[in-house]
């Protein structure tokens, strides 16, 4: 029934935002971290987020189709092309030291003279999420998908501001000093080509995996839609 499908879509949205607004804030997060350990919390939260995201994507796919603009073949090229830089940004951002945002590891090892992708953006994962959202709203001109991807785009941009405020509050002068050191640094650090090649390869593999798995979790084969 269409009404039930809309309710499922709304429920998925509510659970997604609740998980991102309740579980990561006091007093819930400290309790979960104490019970699971920081690494365990990060792993469980990441898996939970992916599960809810899959539910949200499926709910948008099953929602009643309300067209906002017609579909044309060229629109499919936008996410196909855009997802390669998205995957590369994720590959270079996830797990790299980044005290300014989430998704990093060993943040105490962050070197402002060798900031990596953080020198380009403090929030690589949110930048990737924004590009993913904008790219996917183009070929999905129906109400449910526009709400889905449009909300994610706004959520990603707003998240950058919110995280900046939280990190400034938590880190104090350290936040300002690290930013100043990054901008002031004029040293030419040696390039770790092995690390760059590894992360670039990981990004390419992620791109291929997502393209192959896309019909399974989204119900659309991006490669097939490009075929004449």
Q: What is the pLDDT of residues 66-106, one digit of tens each?
A: 999 998 888 999 999 999 999 999 999 998 999 999 878 88
Q: What is the mean pLDDT of residues 46-55?
A: 89
**211, 106: one domain:** yes
**74, 58: one domain:** no
Higher pLDDT pick, 34 / 184: 34
Q: What is the mean pLDDT of residues 147-162?
A: 93
Task: Give yes or no for a contact between 129 and 152, defined as CB atoms under 8 angstroms apart.
Answer: yes
**182, 208: one domain:** yes
Count of other CB atoms within 10 angstroms of residue 115: 21
Calculate the average pLDDT of the chain: 88
- Final residue in a domain of this structure, among 32, 64, 96: 64
pLDDT band at 227 (very low <50, low <70, confident <90, very high): low
| Tokens describing residue 106 | 């060993």
**38, 21: one domain:** yes
**79, 28: one domain:** no
Q: Which residues contact 98 (CB under 8 A, 6 or more apart)?
A: 104, 107, 110, 118, 122, 124
pLDDT band at 189 (very low <50, low <70, confident <90, very high): low
**27, 50: one domain:** yes
**211, 113: one domain:** yes
Higher pLDDT pick, 220 / 190: 220
**54, 129: one domain:** no
**56, 72: one domain:** no
Residue 118 is predicted with a pLDDT of 92
Does the pLDDT value for residue 188 go beyond 80?
no
Residue 25 is predicted with a pLDDT of 78
- Final residue in a domain of this structure, among 43, 64, 85: 64
DSSP 76-137: HHHHHHHHHHHHHHHHHHTTS--TTSSS-S-GGG--TTS-GGGGT-S-HHHHHHHHHHHHHH
| Tokens describing residue 67 | 């067209």
Q: How far is CA 130 from CA 17, 38, 85, in A?
A: 16, 27, 12
Q: What is the mean pLDDT of residues 123-147?
A: 95
- Total of domains in the chain: 2
Does the pLDDT value for residue 199 go beyond 90?
yes
Q: What is the mean pLDDT of residues 205-219?
A: 88
Residue 187 is predicted with a pLDDT of 55
Q: What is the mean pLDDT of residues 7-30?
A: 86
| Tokens describing residue 41 | 């919390």
**80, 46: one domain:** no
Count of other CB atoms within 10 angstroms of residue 7: 13
Does the pLDDT value for residue 140 go beyond 90?
yes
- Identify the domain containing residue 192 by its residue range: 66-226
Using DSSP's 3-state secondary structure scheme, residue 24 falls into coil
Residue 183 is predicted with a pLDDT of 80
| Tokens describing residue 92 | 């270079």
Burial class (CB in 10 A: 0-12, 13-18, 19+), 49: middle
Q: How far is CA 161 from CA 51, 80, 86, 115, 165, in A?
A: 26, 28, 20, 20, 6
**142, 187: one domain:** yes
DSSP secondary structure code for residue 142 in this structure: B
pLDDT above 90 as % of the chain: 49
**43, 94: one domain:** no
């Amino acid at each position: 029934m269409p009404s039930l499908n809309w309710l499922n879509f709304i429920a998925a949205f509510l659970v997604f935002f609740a998980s991102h607004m309740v579980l990561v804030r006091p007093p819930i997060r400290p309790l979960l971290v104490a019970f699971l350990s920081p690494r365990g919390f990060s792993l469980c939260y990441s898996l939970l987020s992916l599960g809810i995201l899959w539910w949200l994507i499926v709910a948008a796919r099953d929602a009643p189709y309300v067209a906002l603009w017609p579909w044309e073949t060229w629109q499919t090229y936008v996410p196909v092309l855009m997802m390669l830089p998205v995957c590369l940004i994720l590959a270079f951002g996830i797990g790299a030291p980044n005290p300014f945002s989430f998704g990093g590891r060993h943040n105490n090892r962050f070197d402002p003279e060798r900031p990596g992708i953080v020198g380009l953006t403090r929030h690589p994962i949110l930048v990737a999420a924004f590009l993913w959202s904008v790219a996917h709203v183009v070929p999905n001109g129906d109400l449910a998908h526009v709400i889905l991807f449009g909300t994610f785009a706004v959520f990603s941009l707003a998240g950058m501001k919110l995280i900046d405020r939280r990190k400034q509050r938590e880190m104090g002068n350290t936040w300002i000093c690290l930013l100043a050191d990054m901008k002031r640094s004029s040293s030419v650090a040696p390039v770790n080509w092995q690390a760059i090649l590894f992360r670039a390869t990981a990004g390419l593999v992620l791109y291929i995996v997502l393209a192959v798995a896309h019909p399974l979790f989204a119900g659309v084969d991006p490669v097939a839609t490009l075929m004449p």
